[in-house]
Structure formats: structure tokens, C-alpha cells
């Protein structure tokens, strides 16, 4: 009998609970354990998910526990912390998110966890850097979902504007999971055709290709969801499950995630979203594409903003000692 696939979820709020449901629904976990500072919340979410299991085709063991239960987990999804309000940038939640963590990450490591940390908590790029440093884990085993969700939103927008199914669109955002993210248009294609060519051939039916409008809509798509329902949960939970699948099945798929950069694209010491090969060892390779000079500057500018907040975390931690 093979080893059971256990996924730990730190934080049983809107995002964490929906990650659990998505994993169970898609059959990507044999065991799911919720851990939250509010134990009653974790217990309630675990019980609610157990009630759903009789209707699912997969057997899953679900419970609420402590960080000790993360010991045998393959992956711990870090989803603790507040959701940004519609009037906040994701970076504005940094202080509250760090408060929510406390000593949790070192405690997870002391409990014996030796798997992969997948970070969702916002600001995702900065928190991934914090978790990597707090855990002492190698860079391939700590990264965030980054622009995985932003990239899905970009594909949705392009599908709407072109009439082509999202599965035939190759596109992604890079940089910050936030307002400074950029789109490397030189790498975007519909089928095998560069997007500029695609629009030129259909100018009479599709009109002009407005890259700035699409970038703006992609950057702030999450806030449309927040304004409408108060939280984002379906998209991000499925983005996380997609990454978990790539890890557990050693798929070697190229996905936009936020790992530590050490010289790639001229950037070092920053977690930022880039296309990367995802397999059983986590981030197995960072894919370096040939960006235009303008695109490279936009990406590096986004990384500079992330770096400022990474430095702020160091100051906050020092100030608390």
C-alpha cells in the first residue's frame, strides 16, 4: 500500500476551507488536516467537509488538529491571515498577517514537517520569503501561488475578448501578486500564434488590442470579487489544488509561481512570479524567457516593490525582539 497523501492547511478561513474542499472534490488528498488559532473554526470546517464526503467519489480523512499533525504532511498550505478589504492593497495586510503567524512556522518545523510550504497568505510574495527564512527550508520547497490566479484571470479576459477557449490560450502574469504585476506580451499566444498577430488578422471583428486595459483589468480583477462578495475563494483554492497536483504527481508542468530568484531576470533575493517547472521536489527549475527590454524593466520594477516590503518584514521582526 502506498503512502497516503496528507495535506496540511494552516488557516481555516474562507481560503483555507475552500482549499480543503477543492482538494477533496478533485481527489488530490487522502488526508486533510486543518489548523487554525480559532480551534472551533477549524473543527467546524472539518466537520462540514466530512458531511460532504458521502457525495464524493473519493475517500478522504479530514480532521482539525495541531501543528504536530503537519509532521507527516507532504505539503502545508499557508492560508492564515486577513483578507484585504476592497480599499486595501494586498501589501497593506502585511502587519496583520505576520501577527497571525507568531511562532507558527518554526513550530511546524520543530514538529517534524519536512515537506513543501505552499503560501497563499497575502502579500503572497513577501510571506513566501518570510516562511522560507523562518523555516530554514531550501528555496525549492517554499514558494507562493503567486500570479497563478492572476494568470487564470488573464486567460479568462482574453477568452472573453477573443472567443477562444482558455485552454487554447498561453498567457501569464509575472512579478508581484498585486498591483505592480506585468504581462510579458511577447510570450502570450493563442494556439501557437503570437497574440499580436492573432488580433491583427481579426481587426475587423475584434477591434484593437488594448494591452493596457487588459493589464489593468487583470491587476484588479480580485477586487471586483471582493467588492461583490467580500472574499475570493473559488479561484485561489483551485489554483492551489492545481499546484498540489503538479507536485504530488511529479508532473513537471510549467506554472507561474513565486519562488526565490537568485539572478534570474537580473533579480536576486526576491520572491516573484515567474514560469517554473513544478514537480515532486517543488520548484525544480525557473524558466528564463527572452523578454523585451521594456518587459524586463517592468518585471524588475515590480520586484523592487516586493523587495521593499521584504526589507520591511526584517525591520518589523527586529523591532519585535
| Grid cell for residue 253 | 508542468
Residues 102-149 have pLDDT tens digits of 789 999 999 999 999 999 998 999 999 999 999 999 999 999 999 999
| pLDDT: which is higher, 242 or 96 | 242
| pLDDT: which is higher, 207 or 120 | 120
Please give the domain boundaries of the chain with CATH numbers for all domains: 6-144 (3.40.50.720), 148-309 (3.90.110.10)
Distances (CA, A) of 257 to 58, 60, 149, 163: 28, 27, 10, 27
CB 291 within 8 A of CB 195: no
Question: Which position among 18, 177, 271, 309 bears the catalytic label?
Answer: 177
Give the pLDDT confidence score for residue 90 in this predicted structure. 55
Q: Hunting for cell 520594477 — which residue is that?
A: 301
**Does residue 282 surpass a pLDDT of 90?**
yes
Q: List the single range of 52-61, 88-97, 212-221, 305-314 with lowest mean pLDDT.
A: 88-97
Strands (E), 195-246: none
Q: Is 249 a catalytic residue?
A: no
Amino acid at each position: 500500500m502506498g503512502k497516503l497523501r496528507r495535506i496540511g492547511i494552516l488557516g481555516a478561513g474562507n481560503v483555507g476551507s475552500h482549499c480543503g474542499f477543492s482538494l477533496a472534490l478533485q481527489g488530490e488528498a487522502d488526508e486533510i488536516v486543518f489548523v487554525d488559532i480559532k480551534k472551533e473554526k477549524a473543527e467546524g470546517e472539518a466537520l462540514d467537509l466530512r458531511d460532504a464526503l458521502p457525495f464524493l467519489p473519493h475517500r478522504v480523512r479530514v480532521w482539525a488538529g495541531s501543528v504536530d499533525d503537519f509532521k507527516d504532511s507532504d505539503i502545508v498550505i499557508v492560508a492564515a491571515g486577513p483578507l484585504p478589504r476592497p480599499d486595501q492593497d494586498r501589501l497593506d495586510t502585511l502587519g496583520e498577517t505576520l501577527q497571525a503567524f507568531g511562532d507558527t512556522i518554526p513550530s511546524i518545523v520543530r514538529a517534524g514537517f519536512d515537506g513543501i510550504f505552499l503560501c497563499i497568505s497575502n502579500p503572497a510574495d513577501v510571506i513566501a520569503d518570510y516562511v522560507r527564512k523562518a523555516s530554514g527550508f531550501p528555496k525549492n520547497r517554499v514558494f507562493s501561488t503567486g500570479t497563478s490566479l492572476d494568470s487564470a484571470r488573464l486567460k479568462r479576459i482574453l477568452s472573453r475578448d477573443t472567443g477562444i477557449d482558455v485552454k487554447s490560450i498561453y498567457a501569464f502574469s509575472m512579478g508581484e501578486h498585486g498591483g505592480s504585476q506585468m504581462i510579458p506580451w511577447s510570450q502570450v499566444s493563442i494556439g501557437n500564434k503570437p497574440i499580436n498577430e492573432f488580433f491583427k488578422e481579426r481587426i475587423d471583428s475584434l477591434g484593437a488590442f488594448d494591452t493596457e486595459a487588459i493589464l489593468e483589468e487583470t491587476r484588479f480583477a480580485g477586487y471586483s470579487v471582493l467588492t461583490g462578495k467580500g472574499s475570493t475563494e473559488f479561484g485561489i483554492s483551485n489554483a492551489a489544488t492545481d499546484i498540489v497536483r503538479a507536485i504530488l504527481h511529479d508532473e513537471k508542468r510549467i506554472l507561474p509561481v513565486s519562488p526565490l530568484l537568485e539572478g534570474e531576470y537580473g533579480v536576486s533575493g526576491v520572491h516573484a512570479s515567474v514560469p517554473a517547472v513544478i514537480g515532486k521536489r517543488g520548484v525544480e527549475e525557473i524558466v528564463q524567457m527572452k523578454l523585451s527590454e521594456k518587459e524586463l524593466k517592468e518585471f524588475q520594477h515590480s520586484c523592487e516593490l516586493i523587495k521593499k516590503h521584504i526589507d520591511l518584514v526584517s525591520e518589523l521582526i527586529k523591532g519585535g525582539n
